[in-house]
Structure formats: structure tokens, C-alpha cells
Amino acid sequence: MATMLETDRRSCWSSIMTNLSTNREPLKLTKTQLKAAVDNVDKWLSDVALSYNLVLPPEARTNLTAKQKVMLLRAVIDARFTAGVFS
């Protein structure tokens, strides 16, 4: 899996900052530290893509497209967030 373009990472970072500001959530990071976190998570996702693919059942691994695999991962992460499952 490739990493995002720098412009896409900046857009993600900006969106997070806007969301935190809109919701008046405190953040104990500087903008630079938050940007570094976005960059590192993007790199980590690329680094663990093979591992993620290997945990999928064989049918899903071979029949889902790369985009569908990402949609699956996103759906599970969103559901966990909504349910309050953070660890």
C-alpha cells in the first residue's frame, strides 16, 4: 500500500484540527506534533498492509479488491469508534 501524497496528509491534518476545534476538544499536542502523528500513521498503514491482508479469510483476501479491503478496515474502525472500543 502506498502512502498518501503530502497534500493529502496535510488535508487530513487540517480536517482533524478543524474537527477538534469545532467540537472544542482539548489537544495536548502542537500542530507540528499532530502533523507528525498523521504522517507516521500513514506510513504505518503502508507498512502493515501485508499483515492486514494475511488476517483476512482466504475468500476475502482473494475476492475483495484493494479498495474494498480498505472500506472493510474503515468500517470496522468506525464501528469500534462508535461503540467506544478504543483499545
DSSP labels for 1-12? Answer: -PPPPHHHHHHH
Phi-psi map region of 84: left, alpha, beta (phi>0 left; psi -120 to 50 alpha): left
Q: Are 8 and 38 within one domain?
A: yes
What's residue 68's pLDDT?
97
Q: Are 56 and 86 within one domain?
A: yes
Q: Are 38 and 12 within one domain?
A: yes
Residue 18 sits in which domain range?
A: 1-45
Q: Are 63 and 41 within one domain?
A: no
Q: Are 76 and 40 within one domain?
A: no
Q: Are 2 and 39 within one domain?
A: yes
Handedness of CA 45, 49, 51, 52 (dihedral sign): positive
The model's confidence at residue 87, banded by pLDDT at 50, 70 and 90, is confident
Residues of the chain above pLDDT 90, percent: 92
Mean pLDDT of 40-49: 94
Tally the domains of the chain.
2
Query: Residue 59 — φ and ψ, nearest 5°?
Result: -65, -40
Residue pair 44/4 in contact (Cβ under 8 Å)? The answer is: no
Residue 37, pLDDT > 70, answer yes
The model carries a pTM of 0.82
The model's confidence at residue 63, banded by pLDDT at 50, 70 and 90, is very high
Q: Are 3 and 40 within one domain?
A: yes
